[in-house]
Chain A
């Protein structure tokens, strides 16, 4: 990205020490983050990490306890800005929440009405999305008869009928089979190509890695934020796997003298966390050979997003 493009990008979502408490329970603790315009931001965390509460606060569905937040140019928590924020955001909740006894077309049309779209705007957007989703032929079918995947896609379309600036999605592929998940992910990628700002709550690491520009790992507090690659590198560095013909006590004693990080033995394979494999691997191989060992292979593996996620979530206080 050029410097000019970088300057042109604006923070679409900004929070500063955003906190929400339910009685004695702190659901979201001093959350500070920024999401750029046109960015797909993944919000990863286990159940109860405060992801849904964060989205609900940003959509002005529930109030904040303290801190500040902004969506677009409007302040979250200001009574007069709440409706303005809801006009510029689209929200896909974790449950699709469609009206089963309304048709696909009627579901979209009703929401277009709620967003104060004109008749012609609604007609145009309903047709556009239903065709885009491959549901045009089923536009007069009751939504209650749709498969989970079709319902989820319709729920996403419902959040887009007013052409929002920001789309909040809460676990959009939860409970979907792999094929339906793929369909929804492709739809999100299509929105990404259209430069929509997307805030994606998920605990699907693979999905986050494939779809998101940046990821925040949340467990009540924001544990880390960065691109998927940055997170993989920052948390655990890399890992060296050494396959030996046979692991002996002498080899292990010799390696222990090198003060290695997280040396793990699995049969005749040794795994070690490394920061700089180019310097550390030759020392390990020398130590093994010096102790009479025979090295069959040496592999350097990067940490995965899953490693990073689990490390951060498990190490959380």
Chain B
């Protein structure tokens, strides 16, 4: 257990120190949300209607952006080999790395959502629903992303491949995340229905993601 805790602490430290990319995802999020009204026009009613969708898409992309280095950096400096020869089960280590990844990229997105949502003319109710769906949905994105990050770890141009592999798999998160956020604002479905399914999907990906990612790492490091 202490090995896993050390792993978590290390990943968090690496992410926030110089050269780590913890807040770049949030910056990307902000930039995408700023660019969207420039493309759509400053129609506040329109922005309010599609705001949740824009924020969800931006969160999806920001999340993807950070995944690229998740295992690749460890592979390059050799620590991945140490991790794999270590005594802690690889699945758990991968899960802990996923958790650290979410704490440094997913959680900041969730925290940044309320102020950024103001740009899109979202009211308090929509903000609340959006924060809640992102809080529940982004771990799902991270843990699905683990699989892609593990598959792409030794590849040149792995980042591009990662996007192609991971994005189609995140279709359910996007659908139910946006659906829940919209349901809270305009209905007609109760917020709980899509939100519960979103929770279920996230839980399932927390189970499947580490196993698949660990399997991918094992076969690649052979």
Q: Are A and B physically bound partners?
A: no
- Listed in ascending order, the chain A residues whose CB lies under 8 Å from chain B are none
